[in-house]
Structure 1
Amino acid sequence: MFHIYKIPQVKQLSLSEWQSKLKKSDGEKLESLKQLAGQDQLQMVKLTLLVTPDGQPRVIELVASGLAGDKGRLIGTQRDISDSIAMQRSMKQVAYQDQLTGLFNARALEQTLDKAVLSSEGEIRPFGLLFIDLDGFKQVNDTLGHDAGDLLLKYAAKRMRCCLRLEDEVFRLGGDEFVVWTPAHPKGTEKHALMQQLTTVAEKLKASLTKVFKIHDRECYVSASIGGACFPYDATSAKAVMKCADQAMYLAKENGKNQFVQYVMLEKEQDTFVLNASIRTESEKSSDI
Protein backbone atom coordinates (compact mmCIF):
# COMPACT_ATOMS: atom_id res chain seq x y z
CA MET A 1 0.00 0.00 0.00
CA PHE A 2 1.25 3.44 -0.89
CA HIS A 3 1.27 5.80 2.13
CA ILE A 4 1.79 9.48 2.77
CA TYR A 5 3.02 10.49 6.22
CA LYS A 6 2.37 13.87 7.80
CA ILE A 7 4.95 15.62 9.92
CA PRO A 8 4.89 16.66 12.75
CA GLN A 9 1.59 14.82 13.46
CA VAL A 10 3.01 11.65 11.84
CA LYS A 11 -0.33 10.06 11.04
CA GLN A 12 -0.23 7.49 8.30
CA LEU A 13 -2.74 8.07 5.49
CA SER A 14 -3.12 5.97 2.39
CA LEU A 15 -3.42 7.59 -1.01
CA SER A 16 -7.06 6.54 -1.26
CA GLU A 17 -7.79 8.03 2.18
CA TRP A 18 -6.32 11.35 1.07
CA GLN A 19 -8.30 11.27 -2.17
CA SER A 20 -11.56 10.61 -0.35
CA LYS A 21 -11.19 13.90 1.49
CA LEU A 22 -10.45 16.00 -1.60
CA LYS A 23 -12.45 17.39 -4.47
CA LYS A 24 -12.37 14.95 -7.35
CA SER A 25 -10.07 16.93 -9.67
CA ASP A 26 -7.35 17.12 -7.00
CA GLY A 27 -6.96 13.35 -6.99
CA GLU A 28 -4.77 13.62 -10.08
CA LYS A 29 -2.39 15.91 -8.21
CA LEU A 30 -1.88 13.26 -5.58
CA GLU A 31 -1.32 10.62 -8.24
CA SER A 32 1.51 12.76 -9.62
CA LEU A 33 3.31 12.48 -6.30
CA LYS A 34 3.95 8.80 -6.92
CA GLN A 35 6.90 9.74 -9.09
CA LEU A 36 8.70 10.91 -5.93
CA ALA A 37 8.67 7.42 -4.43
CA GLY A 38 12.19 6.16 -3.79
CA GLN A 39 13.76 9.52 -4.69
CA ASP A 40 15.14 12.23 -2.46
CA GLN A 41 13.05 15.01 -4.04
CA LEU A 42 10.38 17.49 -2.96
CA GLN A 43 7.13 18.54 -4.60
CA MET A 44 4.42 20.93 -3.46
CA VAL A 45 0.73 20.73 -4.39
CA LYS A 46 -2.33 22.75 -3.37
CA LEU A 47 -5.38 20.68 -2.56
CA THR A 48 -8.97 21.53 -1.68
CA LEU A 49 -9.96 19.54 1.38
CA LEU A 50 -13.72 18.94 1.41
CA VAL A 51 -13.96 16.69 4.48
CA THR A 52 -13.22 18.94 7.46
CA PRO A 53 -14.40 19.04 11.13
CA ASP A 54 -16.47 22.20 10.54
CA GLY A 55 -17.74 21.12 7.13
CA GLN A 56 -16.12 24.08 5.38
CA PRO A 57 -13.76 23.43 2.44
CA ARG A 58 -10.14 24.31 3.17
CA VAL A 59 -7.15 24.77 0.88
CA ILE A 60 -4.17 22.70 1.96
CA GLU A 61 -0.58 23.18 0.85
CA LEU A 62 1.03 19.74 0.88
CA VAL A 63 4.81 19.41 0.57
CA ALA A 64 5.79 15.80 -0.04
CA SER A 65 9.19 14.16 -0.25
CA GLY A 66 10.35 10.74 -1.34
CA LEU A 67 12.74 8.58 0.66
CA ALA A 68 15.76 7.19 -1.12
CA GLY A 69 15.35 3.44 -1.47
CA ASP A 70 11.79 3.38 -0.08
CA LYS A 71 9.18 3.19 -2.86
CA GLY A 72 6.25 2.52 -0.55
CA ARG A 73 5.77 5.87 1.16
CA LEU A 74 6.31 9.61 1.15
CA ILE A 75 6.82 11.99 4.04
CA GLY A 76 5.80 15.61 4.15
CA THR A 77 4.12 18.57 5.78
CA GLN A 78 0.75 20.17 5.26
CA ARG A 79 -0.32 23.75 5.86
CA ASP A 80 -3.78 25.27 5.82
CA ILE A 81 -3.54 28.34 3.56
CA SER A 82 -7.29 29.04 3.27
CA ASP A 83 -7.17 32.26 5.31
CA SER A 84 -4.18 33.52 3.37
CA ILE A 85 -5.95 32.95 0.06
CA ALA A 86 -9.10 34.64 1.34
CA MET A 87 -7.04 37.66 2.39
CA GLN A 88 -5.37 37.85 -1.02
CA ARG A 89 -8.74 37.74 -2.75
CA SER A 90 -10.04 40.45 -0.46
CA MET A 91 -7.02 42.64 -1.20
CA LYS A 92 -7.48 42.09 -4.93
CA GLN A 93 -11.14 43.03 -4.64
CA VAL A 94 -10.20 46.24 -2.84
CA ALA A 95 -7.63 47.02 -5.53
CA TYR A 96 -10.22 46.79 -8.32
CA GLN A 97 -13.30 48.13 -6.55
CA ASP A 98 -14.48 51.68 -6.04
CA GLN A 99 -15.06 51.89 -2.30
CA LEU A 100 -17.86 54.45 -2.48
CA THR A 101 -20.17 52.94 -5.09
CA GLY A 102 -19.06 49.30 -5.10
CA LEU A 103 -18.49 49.49 -8.85
CA PHE A 104 -15.24 48.45 -10.51
CA ASN A 105 -12.66 51.24 -10.66
CA ALA A 106 -10.33 52.72 -13.28
CA ARG A 107 -7.72 50.04 -12.68
CA ALA A 108 -10.29 47.33 -13.37
CA LEU A 109 -11.39 49.16 -16.54
CA GLU A 110 -7.82 49.27 -17.81
CA GLN A 111 -7.45 45.54 -17.25
CA THR A 112 -10.81 44.79 -18.89
CA LEU A 113 -9.95 46.81 -22.00
CA ASP A 114 -6.47 45.31 -22.30
CA LYS A 115 -7.93 41.80 -22.17
CA ALA A 116 -10.70 42.69 -24.63
CA VAL A 117 -8.24 44.12 -27.16
CA LEU A 118 -5.75 41.26 -26.80
CA SER A 119 -8.47 38.61 -27.17
CA SER A 120 -9.42 40.16 -30.49
CA GLU A 121 -6.16 39.12 -32.14
CA GLY A 122 -7.04 36.78 -34.96
CA GLU A 123 -10.74 37.25 -34.30
CA ILE A 124 -12.23 40.71 -34.07
CA ARG A 125 -14.56 41.00 -31.10
CA PRO A 126 -16.02 44.50 -31.24
CA PHE A 127 -17.10 46.37 -28.13
CA GLY A 128 -18.42 49.79 -27.32
CA LEU A 129 -17.55 52.33 -24.65
CA LEU A 130 -19.74 55.00 -23.13
CA PHE A 131 -18.01 57.82 -21.24
CA ILE A 132 -20.49 59.38 -18.81
CA ASP A 133 -20.31 62.66 -16.89
CA LEU A 134 -23.10 63.72 -14.54
CA ASP A 135 -24.39 67.20 -15.35
CA GLY A 136 -25.30 69.22 -12.25
CA PHE A 137 -23.50 66.99 -9.77
CA LYS A 138 -21.19 69.78 -8.60
CA GLN A 139 -24.16 71.97 -7.74
CA VAL A 140 -25.71 69.23 -5.59
CA ASN A 141 -22.37 68.56 -3.92
CA ASP A 142 -21.73 72.25 -3.22
CA THR A 143 -25.28 73.01 -2.06
CA LEU A 144 -26.11 69.98 0.08
CA GLY A 145 -22.60 68.86 1.04
CA HIS A 146 -20.30 65.96 0.29
CA ASP A 147 -22.46 63.43 2.14
CA ALA A 148 -25.37 64.21 -0.18
CA GLY A 149 -23.03 64.08 -3.17
CA ASP A 150 -21.76 60.67 -2.12
CA LEU A 151 -25.32 59.38 -1.76
CA LEU A 152 -26.20 60.69 -5.20
CA LEU A 153 -23.21 58.85 -6.70
CA LYS A 154 -24.25 55.62 -4.97
CA TYR A 155 -27.82 55.91 -6.26
CA ALA A 156 -26.63 56.84 -9.74
CA ALA A 157 -24.32 53.82 -9.80
CA LYS A 158 -27.22 51.48 -8.95
CA ARG A 159 -29.40 53.00 -11.65
CA MET A 160 -26.68 52.62 -14.27
CA ARG A 161 -26.10 48.99 -13.32
CA CYS A 162 -29.84 48.32 -13.75
CA CYS A 163 -29.74 49.69 -17.30
CA LEU A 164 -27.17 47.15 -18.50
CA ARG A 165 -27.12 43.56 -19.68
CA LEU A 166 -25.38 40.92 -17.58
CA GLU A 167 -22.37 40.94 -19.90
CA ASP A 168 -22.00 44.74 -19.73
CA GLU A 169 -20.09 46.50 -16.97
CA VAL A 170 -19.95 50.00 -15.51
CA PHE A 171 -16.83 51.50 -13.94
CA ARG A 172 -16.33 54.62 -11.86
CA LEU A 173 -13.24 56.56 -12.90
CA GLY A 174 -13.51 59.05 -10.06
CA GLY A 175 -15.65 62.04 -9.16
CA ASP A 176 -18.81 61.96 -11.27
CA GLU A 177 -17.22 60.22 -14.27
CA PHE A 178 -18.20 56.69 -15.28
CA VAL A 179 -17.52 54.36 -18.18
CA VAL A 180 -19.76 51.60 -19.52
CA TRP A 181 -18.17 48.72 -21.43
CA THR A 182 -20.54 46.77 -23.66
CA PRO A 183 -19.35 43.90 -25.88
CA ALA A 184 -21.08 43.60 -29.24
CA HIS A 185 -24.00 41.23 -29.51
CA PRO A 186 -22.86 37.99 -31.22
CA LYS A 187 -25.22 38.70 -34.13
CA GLY A 188 -24.44 42.40 -34.26
CA THR A 189 -20.73 42.72 -34.88
CA GLU A 190 -21.03 45.23 -37.71
CA LYS A 191 -20.34 48.86 -36.90
CA HIS A 192 -23.90 50.01 -37.49
CA ALA A 193 -25.28 47.34 -35.16
CA LEU A 194 -22.78 48.23 -32.43
CA MET A 195 -23.55 51.94 -32.78
CA GLN A 196 -27.24 51.16 -32.41
CA GLN A 197 -26.45 49.07 -29.33
CA LEU A 198 -24.57 52.02 -27.80
CA THR A 199 -27.47 54.34 -28.58
CA THR A 200 -29.94 52.01 -26.89
CA VAL A 201 -27.84 51.75 -23.73
CA ALA A 202 -27.11 55.49 -23.65
CA GLU A 203 -30.79 56.39 -23.95
CA LYS A 204 -31.64 54.04 -21.08
CA LEU A 205 -28.94 55.66 -18.95
CA LYS A 206 -30.14 59.16 -19.75
CA ALA A 207 -33.75 58.32 -18.98
CA SER A 208 -32.80 56.73 -15.65
CA LEU A 209 -30.37 59.41 -14.50
CA THR A 210 -32.71 62.34 -15.22
CA LYS A 211 -35.29 61.04 -12.76
CA VAL A 212 -35.40 62.83 -9.43
CA PHE A 213 -33.02 61.74 -6.66
CA LYS A 214 -34.47 62.09 -3.15
CA ILE A 215 -31.58 62.90 -0.82
CA HIS A 216 -31.93 64.16 2.74
CA ASP A 217 -35.61 64.96 2.07
CA ARG A 218 -34.60 67.09 -0.88
CA GLU A 219 -35.34 66.51 -4.55
CA CYS A 220 -32.18 66.64 -6.62
CA TYR A 221 -31.85 66.56 -10.39
CA VAL A 222 -28.90 65.73 -12.59
CA SER A 223 -28.53 64.59 -16.18
CA ALA A 224 -25.84 62.85 -18.19
CA SER A 225 -23.52 63.91 -20.98
CA ILE A 226 -22.48 60.70 -22.74
CA GLY A 227 -19.89 60.01 -25.40
CA GLY A 228 -19.67 56.74 -27.28
CA ALA A 229 -16.93 55.00 -29.26
CA CYS A 230 -16.60 51.61 -30.95
CA PHE A 231 -13.68 49.20 -31.08
CA PRO A 232 -12.14 48.48 -33.57
CA TYR A 233 -13.99 50.93 -35.83
CA ASP A 234 -13.11 54.20 -34.11
CA ALA A 235 -9.78 53.08 -32.63
CA THR A 236 -7.70 49.92 -32.49
CA SER A 237 -6.15 50.25 -29.02
CA ALA A 238 -7.63 50.43 -25.54
CA LYS A 239 -6.16 53.86 -24.83
CA ALA A 240 -7.29 55.30 -28.14
CA VAL A 241 -10.87 54.10 -27.92
CA MET A 242 -11.10 55.59 -24.42
CA LYS A 243 -9.87 58.91 -25.81
CA CYS A 244 -12.49 58.80 -28.57
CA ALA A 245 -15.32 58.24 -26.09
CA ASP A 246 -13.93 61.00 -23.84
CA GLN A 247 -13.79 63.48 -26.73
CA ALA A 248 -17.35 62.63 -27.73
CA MET A 249 -18.52 63.21 -24.15
CA TYR A 250 -16.92 66.67 -24.08
CA LEU A 251 -18.69 67.53 -27.32
CA ALA A 252 -21.97 66.52 -25.66
CA LYS A 253 -21.12 68.92 -22.82
CA GLU A 254 -20.32 71.73 -25.22
CA ASN A 255 -23.54 71.22 -27.17
CA GLY A 256 -25.77 71.76 -24.15
CA LYS A 257 -25.36 68.70 -21.90
CA ASN A 258 -27.87 65.90 -21.31
CA GLN A 259 -26.96 64.51 -24.72
CA PHE A 260 -25.42 61.44 -26.32
CA VAL A 261 -22.71 61.89 -28.94
CA GLN A 262 -21.17 59.07 -30.93
CA TYR A 263 -17.60 59.40 -32.14
CA VAL A 264 -17.21 58.67 -35.81
CA MET A 265 -13.74 58.55 -37.27
CA LEU A 266 -13.72 59.91 -40.81
CA GLU A 267 -10.60 59.92 -42.94
CA LYS A 268 -9.82 63.36 -44.27
CA GLU A 269 -6.86 64.92 -45.96
CA GLN A 270 -3.60 64.22 -44.12
CA ASP A 271 -5.41 61.62 -41.99
CA THR A 272 -7.21 64.23 -39.91
CA PHE A 273 -10.40 63.25 -38.10
CA VAL A 274 -13.62 64.99 -37.20
CA LEU A 275 -16.40 64.30 -34.76
CA ASN A 276 -19.79 63.55 -36.21
CA ALA A 277 -22.37 64.14 -33.53
CA SER A 278 -25.50 62.06 -33.35
CA ILE A 279 -27.36 63.97 -30.68
CA ARG A 280 -30.57 63.27 -28.90
CA THR A 281 -31.82 65.56 -26.17
CA GLU A 282 -34.17 64.54 -23.43
CA SER A 283 -35.06 66.88 -20.58
CA GLU A 284 -37.94 64.92 -19.03
CA LYS A 285 -37.73 64.77 -15.27
CA SER A 286 -39.96 62.28 -13.49
CA SER A 287 -40.12 60.93 -9.96
CA ASP A 288 -38.74 57.96 -8.04
CA ILE A 289 -35.13 57.26 -7.04
Structure 2
Amino acid sequence: MKIFLHVCCAPDLVLAHKKLMKKKIEYTAFFYNPNIYPYEEYKKRYEAFLKLKKIWKFEEIEHNYDHGDFLNIMKNVDTKNENIRCYKCMYFRMEKAVVEAKKRGYKIFSTTLLSSPRKNHEDIKKIASELSEKYDIEFYYENFRSNNAISKGAKFCKANNIYRQQYCGCEFSLIEAEELRKKSFEKRRKNLSEKMDFDFVYLMDRELLKIPEDLYPKYLYKHGLEILKDLKPKMILIRKDIAKDLGIKNGRNKIGNWKSKFIVI
Protein backbone atom coordinates (compact mmCIF):
# COMPACT_ATOMS: atom_id res chain seq x y z
CA MET A 1 0.00 0.00 0.00
CA LYS A 2 1.32 3.43 -0.98
CA ILE A 3 -0.36 6.75 -0.27
CA PHE A 4 0.11 10.33 -1.44
CA LEU A 5 1.04 12.32 1.66
CA HIS A 6 0.71 16.08 1.93
CA VAL A 7 3.48 17.30 4.26
CA CYS A 8 2.99 20.52 6.19
CA CYS A 9 6.35 20.51 8.05
CA ALA A 10 9.23 18.24 9.05
CA PRO A 11 8.29 17.79 12.75
CA ASP A 12 4.79 16.66 11.78
CA LEU A 13 6.20 14.32 9.14
CA VAL A 14 8.30 12.65 11.85
CA LEU A 15 5.12 11.62 13.69
CA ALA A 16 3.34 10.46 10.53
CA HIS A 17 6.35 8.55 9.23
CA LYS A 18 6.72 6.55 12.44
CA LYS A 19 3.05 5.54 12.43
CA LEU A 20 2.97 4.68 8.72
CA MET A 21 6.16 2.62 8.86
CA LYS A 22 4.77 0.65 11.78
CA LYS A 23 1.85 -0.36 9.53
CA LYS A 24 4.17 -0.89 6.53
CA ILE A 25 2.47 1.90 4.57
CA GLU A 26 4.75 3.61 2.04
CA TYR A 27 4.18 7.17 0.90
CA THR A 28 5.11 9.79 -1.65
CA ALA A 29 5.68 13.14 0.04
CA PHE A 30 4.28 16.41 -1.27
CA PHE A 31 5.58 19.47 0.60
CA TYR A 32 3.04 22.09 -0.45
CA ASN A 33 2.81 25.12 1.85
CA PRO A 34 2.58 28.48 0.06
CA ASN A 35 1.03 29.86 3.25
CA ILE A 36 4.44 30.05 4.97
CA TYR A 37 5.80 33.56 5.40
CA PRO A 38 8.38 34.97 4.91
CA TYR A 39 10.33 33.08 2.25
CA GLU A 40 13.33 32.71 4.59
CA GLU A 41 11.07 30.78 6.98
CA TYR A 42 9.82 28.62 4.12
CA LYS A 43 13.43 27.75 3.23
CA LYS A 44 14.17 26.68 6.81
CA ARG A 45 11.13 24.41 6.88
CA TYR A 46 11.76 22.94 3.44
CA GLU A 47 15.42 22.27 4.25
CA ALA A 48 14.30 20.46 7.43
CA PHE A 49 11.99 18.35 5.25
CA LEU A 50 14.91 17.55 2.91
CA LYS A 51 16.95 16.37 5.91
CA LEU A 52 14.27 13.78 6.61
CA LYS A 53 14.18 12.82 2.94
CA LYS A 54 17.93 12.15 3.09
CA ILE A 55 17.49 10.01 6.22
CA TRP A 56 14.45 8.01 5.10
CA LYS A 57 14.86 8.01 1.28
CA PHE A 58 11.17 8.59 0.52
CA GLU A 59 9.88 9.75 -2.87
CA GLU A 60 9.02 13.45 -3.22
CA ILE A 61 6.81 15.32 -5.66
CA GLU A 62 8.25 18.85 -5.86
CA HIS A 63 6.27 22.05 -6.23
CA ASN A 64 7.33 25.68 -6.46
CA TYR A 65 6.68 28.12 -3.62
CA ASP A 66 4.33 30.99 -4.48
CA HIS A 67 2.98 32.90 -1.49
CA GLY A 68 0.75 34.87 -3.85
CA ASP A 69 -1.39 31.75 -4.32
CA PHE A 70 -2.13 31.72 -0.59
CA LEU A 71 -2.87 35.45 -0.46
CA ASN A 72 -5.32 35.09 -3.36
CA ILE A 73 -7.49 32.60 -1.46
CA MET A 74 -7.41 34.89 1.59
CA LYS A 75 -8.78 37.92 -0.25
CA ASN A 76 -12.37 37.50 0.94
CA VAL A 77 -11.56 35.78 4.26
CA ASP A 78 -11.71 37.34 7.71
CA THR A 79 -8.04 36.72 8.48
CA LYS A 80 -8.49 37.86 12.08
CA ASN A 81 -10.72 34.84 12.63
CA GLU A 82 -8.19 32.05 13.14
CA ASN A 83 -10.72 29.21 12.75
CA ILE A 84 -12.05 30.42 9.41
CA ARG A 85 -8.59 31.36 8.12
CA CYS A 86 -6.99 28.04 9.06
CA TYR A 87 -9.87 25.98 7.66
CA LYS A 88 -9.57 27.76 4.31
CA CYS A 89 -5.79 27.29 4.32
CA MET A 90 -6.01 23.58 5.08
CA TYR A 91 -8.66 23.06 2.40
CA PHE A 92 -6.50 24.88 -0.16
CA ARG A 93 -3.38 22.81 0.53
CA MET A 94 -5.19 19.48 0.83
CA GLU A 95 -7.07 20.06 -2.42
CA LYS A 96 -3.82 20.81 -4.23
CA ALA A 97 -2.41 17.55 -2.87
CA VAL A 98 -5.47 15.62 -4.06
CA VAL A 99 -5.20 17.10 -7.57
CA GLU A 100 -1.53 16.09 -7.72
CA ALA A 101 -2.34 12.63 -6.38
CA LYS A 102 -5.05 12.02 -9.00
CA LYS A 103 -2.75 13.28 -11.75
CA ARG A 104 -0.24 10.57 -10.81
CA GLY A 105 -2.74 7.77 -10.36
CA TYR A 106 -2.79 7.55 -6.57
CA LYS A 107 -5.96 6.15 -5.02
CA ILE A 108 -5.33 7.19 -1.38
CA PHE A 109 -4.15 10.46 0.14
CA SER A 110 -3.46 11.79 3.63
CA THR A 111 -1.84 14.75 5.35
CA THR A 112 0.62 15.36 8.18
CA LEU A 113 -1.75 18.06 9.42
CA LEU A 114 -3.11 15.13 11.44
CA SER A 115 0.12 15.29 13.47
CA SER A 116 -0.20 18.93 14.44
CA PRO A 117 -1.39 19.79 17.97
CA ARG A 118 -2.71 23.05 16.49
CA LYS A 119 -5.13 21.41 14.05
CA ASN A 120 -8.65 20.09 14.64
CA HIS A 121 -9.12 16.54 13.36
CA GLU A 122 -12.84 17.01 12.80
CA ASP A 123 -12.09 19.92 10.45
CA ILE A 124 -9.50 17.85 8.58
CA LYS A 125 -11.91 14.91 8.24
CA LYS A 126 -14.66 17.21 6.97
CA ILE A 127 -12.36 18.68 4.32
CA ALA A 128 -11.11 15.22 3.36
CA SER A 129 -14.66 13.91 3.01
CA GLU A 130 -15.58 16.73 0.61
CA LEU A 131 -12.41 16.23 -1.42
CA SER A 132 -12.85 12.45 -1.52
CA GLU A 133 -16.33 12.84 -2.98
CA LYS A 134 -15.31 15.62 -5.38
CA TYR A 135 -12.26 13.83 -6.80
CA ASP A 136 -13.16 10.17 -6.19
CA ILE A 137 -10.16 9.39 -3.99
CA GLU A 138 -9.87 7.68 -0.60
CA PHE A 139 -8.62 9.47 2.50
CA TYR A 140 -6.37 7.66 4.95
CA TYR A 141 -7.10 8.80 8.50
CA GLU A 142 -4.93 8.09 11.52
CA ASN A 143 -4.30 10.06 14.66
CA PHE A 144 -0.57 10.56 14.08
CA ARG A 145 -0.17 12.47 17.35
CA SER A 146 -1.58 9.72 19.62
CA ASN A 147 0.35 7.81 22.33
CA ASN A 148 2.70 10.64 23.27
CA ALA A 149 3.93 10.89 19.67
CA ILE A 150 4.47 14.67 19.89
CA SER A 151 6.95 14.33 22.74
CA LYS A 152 8.77 11.48 21.01
CA GLY A 153 8.87 13.45 17.77
CA ALA A 154 10.32 16.48 19.54
CA LYS A 155 13.13 14.32 20.94
CA PHE A 156 13.86 12.92 17.47
CA CYS A 157 14.01 16.44 15.98
CA LYS A 158 16.33 17.63 18.72
CA ALA A 159 18.63 14.62 18.35
CA ASN A 160 18.80 15.04 14.57
CA ASN A 161 18.92 18.86 14.51
CA ILE A 162 15.60 19.14 12.66
CA TYR A 163 14.24 22.71 12.62
CA ARG A 164 11.08 23.20 14.68
CA GLN A 165 9.06 26.30 13.86
CA GLN A 166 7.73 28.74 16.45
CA TYR A 167 4.47 29.70 14.71
CA CYS A 168 1.95 28.09 12.40
CA GLY A 169 3.16 29.60 9.11
CA CYS A 170 1.41 32.59 7.57
CA GLU A 171 1.97 36.28 8.32
CA PHE A 172 -1.30 36.39 10.26
CA SER A 173 -0.20 33.62 12.63
CA LEU A 174 3.24 35.26 12.90
CA ILE A 175 1.64 38.48 14.16
CA GLU A 176 -0.56 36.52 16.58
CA ALA A 177 2.44 34.56 17.89
CA GLU A 178 4.40 37.76 18.47
CA GLU A 179 1.49 39.38 20.30
CA LEU A 180 1.14 36.28 22.47
CA ARG A 181 4.88 36.29 23.20
CA LYS A 182 4.73 39.94 24.29
CA LYS A 183 1.75 39.28 26.58
CA SER A 184 3.52 36.30 28.10
CA PHE A 185 6.70 38.30 28.63
CA GLU A 186 4.81 41.10 30.37
CA LYS A 187 2.95 38.66 32.59
CA ARG A 188 6.22 37.01 33.62
CA ARG A 189 7.87 40.38 34.19
CA LYS A 190 5.00 41.45 36.42
CA ASN A 191 5.23 38.22 38.45
CA LEU A 192 8.96 38.71 38.95
CA SER A 193 8.64 42.38 39.89
CA GLU A 194 6.66 41.33 42.96
CA LYS A 195 9.55 39.13 44.14
CA MET A 196 12.74 40.84 42.97
CA ASP A 197 14.26 44.03 44.37
CA PHE A 198 16.67 44.68 41.46
CA ASP A 199 16.55 45.18 37.69
CA PHE A 200 16.09 41.54 36.60
CA VAL A 201 14.91 41.96 33.00
CA TYR A 202 18.39 41.24 31.59
CA LEU A 203 18.14 37.76 33.14
CA MET A 204 14.94 36.80 31.29
CA ASP A 205 15.11 34.25 28.44
CA ARG A 206 18.85 33.73 28.70
CA GLU A 207 20.67 30.81 27.11
CA LEU A 208 22.49 30.15 30.40
CA LEU A 209 21.62 31.28 33.92
CA LYS A 210 24.21 30.78 36.65
CA ILE A 211 23.25 30.36 40.31
CA PRO A 212 24.52 32.03 42.47
CA GLU A 213 26.60 34.19 40.04
CA ASP A 214 23.60 35.66 38.14
CA LEU A 215 20.80 35.06 40.65
CA TYR A 216 21.20 35.06 44.41
CA PRO A 217 19.70 31.85 45.88
CA LYS A 218 17.87 33.85 48.58
CA TYR A 219 15.15 34.62 46.00
CA LEU A 220 14.66 30.91 45.31
CA TYR A 221 14.64 30.02 49.02
CA LYS A 222 12.04 32.71 49.70
CA HIS A 223 9.77 32.47 46.65
CA GLY A 224 10.41 29.01 45.26
CA LEU A 225 11.31 27.66 41.80
CA GLU A 226 8.50 29.56 40.10
CA ILE A 227 11.05 32.37 39.71
CA LEU A 228 13.01 30.19 37.30
CA LYS A 229 9.83 29.37 35.39
CA ASP A 230 9.25 33.09 34.85
CA LEU A 231 12.89 33.81 33.96
CA LYS A 232 12.77 30.91 31.43
CA PRO A 233 16.47 30.22 30.83
CA LYS A 234 17.29 27.41 28.40
CA MET A 235 19.96 26.04 30.71
CA ILE A 236 20.78 26.57 34.40
CA LEU A 237 24.18 26.11 36.03
CA ILE A 238 23.62 25.64 39.76
CA ARG A 239 25.89 24.96 42.70
CA LYS A 240 25.53 21.50 44.27
CA ASP A 241 24.55 22.63 47.77
CA ILE A 242 21.86 24.98 46.46
CA ALA A 243 20.49 22.28 44.15
CA LYS A 244 20.27 19.87 47.08
CA ASP A 245 18.37 22.42 49.19
CA LEU A 246 15.86 22.98 46.38
CA GLY A 247 15.45 19.33 45.39
CA ILE A 248 16.97 19.81 41.95
CA LYS A 249 18.74 16.94 40.19
CA ASN A 250 21.27 17.06 37.39
CA GLY A 251 19.48 17.00 34.01
CA ARG A 252 16.01 18.13 32.99
CA ASN A 253 13.72 19.23 35.81
CA LYS A 254 10.03 20.08 35.52
CA ILE A 255 8.60 23.15 37.24
CA GLY A 256 4.85 23.25 36.67
CA ASN A 257 4.34 22.89 32.92
CA TRP A 258 7.87 24.18 32.15
CA LYS A 259 11.13 22.24 31.83
CA SER A 260 14.75 23.29 31.80
CA LYS A 261 18.11 21.57 31.85
CA PHE A 262 20.05 21.91 35.10
CA ILE A 263 23.79 21.34 35.36
CA VAL A 264 24.72 20.73 39.00
CA ILE A 265 28.34 21.58 39.85
Query: By the TM > 0.5 criterion, same fold?
Result: no
TM-score (norm 1): 0.23
Choose 1 or 2 for highest CA Rg: 1
TM-score (norm 2): 0.25
Structure number with higher relative contact order (C-alpha < 8 Å, ≥ 6 residues apart): 2
* Bigger proportion of residues as helix: 2
